[in-house]
Amino acid sequence: MTDRPEAAAGVTDADMGGKTVLVTGSTSGIGREAALSFGRLGAEVLVHGRDETAGEAVVEEIERLGGEARFLPADFADVEAVHTLADVVETSVDELDVLANNAGGYFRDGQLTDLGVEYTFHVNHLAPYLLTANLLPVLADDARVVTTSSAAHRGTQLDVDAVKSVDDYRGMRAYQRSKLANVQFTAELARRFDAADGDRTANCFHPGAIPGSGFFRSLPGPLPRLVQSLDVLPFVPSPADGAATLVYLAVSDRVADSSGRYFADCAPETPSDAARDSDAQRRLWEESARLLRVDEPLADAVADPARAD
Ligand SMILES: NC(=O)c1ccc[n+]([C@@H]2O[C@H](COP(=O)([O-])OP(=O)(O)OC[C@H]3O[C@@H](n4cnc5c(N)ncnc54)[C@H](OP(=O)(O)O)[C@@H]3O)[C@@H](O)[C@H]2O)c1
């Protein structure tokens, strides 16, 4: 158990001076701990979430540690807010060295967003997909994109048509589907980075089951408080433990060449068969662009010249 993700990740001596990191969902939990860790390592940290008070508190904490940080609010269920967030980042930094797509959660009640898409899929997958796409022009040549998935991606399939309805909504099924999308998104992004011939990488990870984060707040009745009370037990992983693999993937030299992979406990793991289905990865990529009504990102990188005529 640690209170310093960089120690658990074996990168305490890393110098992130001059680097800029955006951690989505860093107003609490795993993202907050990752943001503090990047601040301690000397990076400029862009803190994101909806809760301004919590976001500014993280900024102040990073500044107290001697670091530099800014809070950038955006509701991930709002497409325009994600476009605006990307615009603000693009105009205010020279380059983004690390994009940590971490914001997300489990949502008990089913609802459709303005896109006509189920909320969990929208917030947990479509929003980071759109943010990543919009930030491509500002990603450094060796940028690392790290996405917080979950072991919950196992045991489900992804039927993209099913995300257009909340009939028969079940929160856990929707959550699993969105976390499977995170793994498939990572694999397809890595493939397109690779085809574009750059040094950018994309990896994703399972942070562990972390009762002390805000993740369980949408459970019914007294369950959120019961789960969170487990956080005091010495053997239960803390949000800082949960952030260790994120920091490892963003910083460690050991994974500089790793891309398209799924990690847990700072080590690669094989994700589910569905997560490794390359046709499903490509379909998700294309269908996500259609749902968001944007051009397919990095389409040139995988354009098949044989199809041109
Ligand atoms: N805790 C676990 O056991 C566990 C296990 C596996 C995977 N994960 C994953 O870990 C990631 C972080 O979760 P956590 O456990 O640290 O939970 P958390 O403490 O609830 O943090 C979630 C973060 O996401 C942000 N967020 C949620 N909905 C948002 C929205 N609509 N728009 C913008 N930001 C939003 C929250 O910010 P605001 O509240 O300020 O909007 C918060 O900063 C999630 O992707 C989750 O799926 C967690």
Chain segment 250-295, per-residue pLDDT in tens:
999 999 999 999 999 999 999 999 999 999 999 999 999 999 999 9
Contacts of 160-165 spanning 24+ positions with Cβ under 8 A: 160/283, 160/284, 160/287, 160/291, 162/118, 163/117, 163/118, 163/121, 163/291, 164/116, 164/117, 164/118, 165/112, 165/118
Residue 303: inside a domain: no
Closest approach atom of ligand 1 to CA 124: 45
Closest approach atom of ligand 1 to CA 123: 31
Q: Which residues share a beta bridge with 269?
A: 262
Residue with the bigger pLDDT between 262 and 197: it is 262
In this structure, which residue's CA is closest to atom 13 in ligand 1?
215
Instruction: Report the residue among 147, 215, 228, 269 best suited for mutation to probe ligand 1: largest number of ligand atoms under 8 A from its CB.
Output: 215
What is the pLDDT, as a whole number, of residue 307? 43
Residue 131: inside a domain: yes
Q: What domain range includes position 58? A: 5-293
Q: How confident is the model at residue 197 (pLDDT cuts 50, 70, 90)?
A: confident
Chain segment 34-71, per-residue pLDDT in tens:
999 999 999 999 999 999 999 999 999 999 999 999 99
The beta-strand segments (E) located in the chain are 20-23, 44-49, 68-73, 96-101, 139-148, 201-206, 261-264, 267-269
Return the exposure string of 82-106: e unless at least 16 CB atoms fall within 10 Å of the residue's CB, then b. bbebbeebeeebeebbbbbbbbbbb
Residue 96: inside a domain: yes
Just list the catalytic residues: 175
Q: Which residues share a beta bridge with 112?
A: 118
* CATH code, domain carrying 137: 3.40.50.720
Residue 161: inside a domain: yes
Q: Could you tell me the pTM of the whole model?
A: 0.96
Q: Which residues line ligand 1 (CB under 6 A)?
A: 25-31, 49-51, 54, 75-77, 102-105, 123, 148, 150, 206-207, 209-210, 213-215, 239
Helix (H) / strand (E) element for 229: namely: helix 223-229
Ligand 1: distance of its center to the CA of 179 in Å?
A: 12
Ligand 1: distance of its center to the CA of 38 in Å?
A: 18
Q: Is the pLDDT of residue 26 over 80?
A: yes
Residue 205: inside a domain: yes
**Total domains in the fold of the chain:** 1
Residue 302: inside a domain: no
Least-confidence region, from 7-21, 33-47, 48-62, 212-226: 212-226
Residue 135: inside a domain: yes
Residue 33: inside a domain: yes
